[in-house]
Amino acid sequence: MRHLLDISPSELVEELAAMGQPAYRARQVLQWVWQHGVCDFAEMTNLPKPLRAELAGRLVVLTGRPAARSDASDGVVKLLVEWSDGQATETVMIPAARRCTACLSVQVGCPVGCAFCASGLDGVARDLSAGEILEQLFHLRSAAARRITHVVLMGMGEPLLNYDATVAAVRAMVDPARGGISARRVTVSTVGLPSQIRRLAREDLPITLAISLHAPNDDLRRQLVPAARAVSIEALLAAASDFFARRGREVTLEYVLLGGVNDTPACADQLARLARRLRCNVNLIRFNPVPGVPFVPPRESALRSFLERLRRRGLNVHLRASRGADAEAACGQLRRRNGKSVTE
């Protein structure tokens, strides 16, 4: 059985041609799935009944199921999606007045192992397919009945280590005949693999690139982001500059503030010197405490002074609002609470 969300529109046309069907049937199927959110072929009422049955025997639209749900008082919804092999990943919807953002996972677990993140505690079990990445949009849409306007690939996993599936999923979500989300509203977040950033810059996709920097010098970054041991900040900045030169899109630098670790005035000054060399925005993120992880959030005064120091140096800095604090907000927490780990 093939996963419909894993195949391209032209492959769907071929699949239907093998059933003796004209090409326009593919358009009808995609409209049902993407525009109307109908994932059961039996409900696709403008298709002949025998075709609906034949499609159901060959293709499946949803391969996972929401196994747990956590709702925060501010409207953030977090789902644990269990896949057909029993592995599970988290996906999050963050609603706001004029936008609704889906935060999607790209791997089961994460091989990067950031010292402050629950998703990396158990390593990685496998990559998600493009269809599994996309399917999270459908589970979120049914769980929260909101139209998704923005997507961030910032959940579990490192998108650039699952490059082909990530790019295929992004192409589907920005395709007007499928997801129809503006590419400018799609963000790929990476800890930074210079060669893959350069490759992404050469795709015809005007997406936003976010680099998870988290430290303003190589020594501290190697402690906080183990996978960065082999990648210097210099190499990362060069790749980010290349991305801007190719795509004309400002890069976002993500920086999780950890109390007493990377929130000092000296760190702010070092970060400012790096960021001023790029066309970029800086996103500061207040650390969300994670059981079993030895870090604390920054003090409010340290956070404010860090932010002001960057702003005084002319940087475009945002403090990302802390959302979903009562919904196991930190990446990987819901999965651990539900006893899912990649070593099971």
List residues binding ligand SF4 (CB under 6 A).
Answer: 110, 112-114, 117, 119-120, 156-158, 191, 331
Tell me whether residue 112 or residue 231 sits nearer to ligand SF4 (CB atom).
112
Q: Do residues 304 and 268 touch, judged by C-beta distance below 8 A?
A: no
Q: Name the amino acid, one letter, at 93.
A: M
- Widest pairwise Cα distance in the chain: 69
- Beta strand spans in 45-168 (E): 59-60, 65-71, 77-82, 88-95, 100-103, 107-109, 124-127, 150-153
Tell me whether residue 26 or residue 256 sits nearer to ligand SF4 (CB atom).
256
Tell me whether residue 110 or residue 284 sits nearer to ligand SF4 (CB atom).
110
Options 15, 82, 90, 254, the catalytic residue: 90
Q: How far is the CB of 154 from ligand SF4 (least distance, A)?
A: 7
Q: How far is the CB of 215 from ligand SF4 (least distance, A)?
A: 12
Tell me whether residue 182 or residue 232 sits nearer to ligand SF4 (CB atom).
232
- Compute CA distances 321 → 94, 102, 213, 324, whole Å: 11, 15, 18, 10
- Which tokens is 71 given? 């709702």
**103 a catalytic residue:** no
Q: Do residues 214 and 256 touch, judged by C-beta distance below 8 A?
A: yes
Q: How far is the CB of 14 from ligand SF4 (least distance, A)?
A: 36
Q: How far is the CB of 217 from ligand SF4 (least distance, A)?
A: 18
Tell me whether residue 156 or residue 334 sits nearer to ligand SF4 (CB atom).
156
Options 117, 267, 280, 331, the catalytic residue: 331
Q: Is the dihedral of CA 271, 328, 108, 184 positive or negative?
A: negative
Tell me whether residue 114 or residue 257 sits nearer to ligand SF4 (CB atom).
114
Pairing of strands 107-109, 280-286: unpaired
Q: How far is the CB of 326 from ligand SF4 (least distance, A)?
A: 21
70 forms beta bridges with 78
- Beta strand spans in the chain (E): 2-3, 59-60, 65-71, 77-82, 88-95, 100-103, 107-109, 124-127, 150-153, 186-190, 208-212, 251-257, 280-286, 316-320
**90 a catalytic residue:** yes
Q: How far is the CB of 54 from ligand SF4 (least distance, A)?
A: 40
Tell me whether residue 110 or residue 215 sits nearer to ligand SF4 (CB atom).
110
Helix or strand holding residue 250 (H, E): none
Q: How far is the CB of 219 from ligand SF4 (least distance, A)?
A: 18
Q: What backbone phi and psi angles, to 5 degrees, belong to 114?
A: -55, 140
- Compute CA distances 113 → 48, 138, 227, 297, whole Å: 50, 28, 7, 19
Looking at the annotation, which residues are catalytic? 90, 331
